[in-house]
Amino acid sequence: MKDDLADKISTLLPILLSLLQLGNSLIMQEKRWYIYNNPTEPQLKTKEKIMKLTYPIINGRTCLRCASLLITVSLAACVVYHPAPTTQPAQRSKPAQSTAANTTSAPANTTRNPTTTTSPQSTLVQRAHGGHADSQYRLGMMYYQGRGVNLNYTTASQWLARAAAQGHTLAEYRLGYMYATGTGVGRNDITARRLFERAANKGHASSQYNLALMYQRGLGGNRDIATARNWYRRAAAQGHAGARNALAKMK
């Protein structure tokens, strides 16, 4: 603070000295102008005349200059000792962070591992591996149709065979169809005919129709029109449209 005050005073002093010199020069010029414009003034020595003329000038103009000089010094002193306050934007205080927030542990990861998550599909697979015939059939159809898994006729035939081995009617029909068409397995009319017959004896209409067709054409065994007609009738009795059309053509 003292260093700043000294710097300001040292800056103002040359200015004040310059004002004093300017005031003195103006006074002298006014004196000369007065002597020059008053030739009737008694002839006095230059020094006496100047002293005679100095009094009113000093009393008037010099007093005004001194007054203005004092005012200037006073204002400068006010500026020096009372500097204008500098407005600085108030700094926002940061909210205090509680230690509890800092020491709070991260929330536990509640995401379940997909391998350990219990889902209908995983439950179905577990039951199928456990020997449940219907689960084996449904899993086989998922692979057969590509529902929820990649389409895989070979895997489908394996699961359907396991279900058919337990006497699952729909598995017997679907596996018989796969053998009859060579889908996912090698074509085998004998195996297809046997599977269709097992399901047909349980009243499955589509199996009855396919078995009648194989008897009519002699696929997987001897040709037998009478047996074919009998199976067509049993399927038609259940509303199978293909069996009805086949019977109409056989008459």
Same-domain check for residues 140 and 213: yes
In this predicted structure, the answer to whether residue 249 has a pLDDT above a threshold of 80 is yes
Same-domain check for residues 222 and 136: yes
Which of 52, 81, 110 is the C-terminal boundary of a domain? 81
In this predicted structure, the answer to whether residue 133 has a pLDDT above a threshold of 90 is yes
Between 132 and 47, whose confidence is greater? 132
Same-domain check for residues 127 and 243: yes
Residue 106 included in any domain: no
Residue 110 included in any domain: no
Same-domain check for residues 139 and 244: yes
Closest CA to 184 of 232, 146, 127: 146
The pLDDT of residue 121: 82
Q: Tell me the pLDDT band of 115, cut-offs 50, 70 and 90.
A: very low
The pLDDT of residue 227: 97
Same-domain check for residues 69 and 133: no
CATH number of the domain at 227, please.
1.25.40.10
Residue 68 included in any domain: yes
Of 108-117, 122-131, 206-215, give the lowest mean pLDDT range: 108-117
Same-domain check for residues 77 and 130: no
Same-domain check for residues 129 and 235: yes
The pLDDT of residue 96: 45
1-50 confidence digits (pLDDT tens): 555 655 666 666 666 666 666 666 666 666 665 555 555 544 444 444 44
Q: Tell me the pLDDT band of 122, cut-offs 50, 70 and 90.
A: confident
Say how far apart CA 42 and CA 113 lie, in whole Å.
125
Give the rounded percent of residues in the chain with a pLDDT score beyond 90. 51
Count of domains observed in the chain = 2
In this predicted structure, the answer to whether residue 188 has a pLDDT above a threshold of 80 is yes
Instruction: Copy the structure tokens of residue 186.
Output: 């090698």
Residue 127 included in any domain: yes
> CB burial class (10 A; 0-12, 13-18, 19+) of residue 105?
exposed
196-215 confidence digits (pLDDT tens): 999 999 999 999 999 999 99
First-to-last CA distance in the chain? 127
The pLDDT of residue 216: 96
Say how far apart CA 76 and CA 64 lie, in whole Å.
18
Residue 100 included in any domain: no
Residue 108 included in any domain: no
The pLDDT of residue 163: 98
Same-domain check for residues 144 and 245: yes
41-90 confidence digits (pLDDT tens): 444 444 444 444 444 444 455 555 665 665 666 566 555 545 444 445 44
Same-domain check for residues 48 and 144: no
Residue 62 included in any domain: yes
- b/e map of 125-148 (b: 16 or more CB within 10 Å)? bebbeeebbebbbbbbbbbbeeee
Same-domain check for residues 19 and 138: no
137-163 confidence digits (pLDDT tens): 999 999 999 999 999 999 999 999 999
3-state secondary structure of 156: helix
Q: What is the CA radius of gyration of the chain?
A: 61
The pLDDT of residue 251: 74
Say how far apart CA 74 and CA 203 lie, in whole Å.
123
Which of 57, 81, 105 is the C-terminal boundary of a domain? 81
Which of 33, 61, 81 is the C-terminal boundary of a domain? 81
Q: Residue 63 belongs to what domain range?
A: 2-81
Same-domain check for residues 130 and 243: yes
Residue 89 included in any domain: no
Same-domain check for residues 126 and 198: yes
Instruction: Copy the structure tokens of residue 113.
Output: 């591992």
The count of other CB atoms within 10 Å of the CB of residue 235 is 28
The pLDDT of residue 8: 61
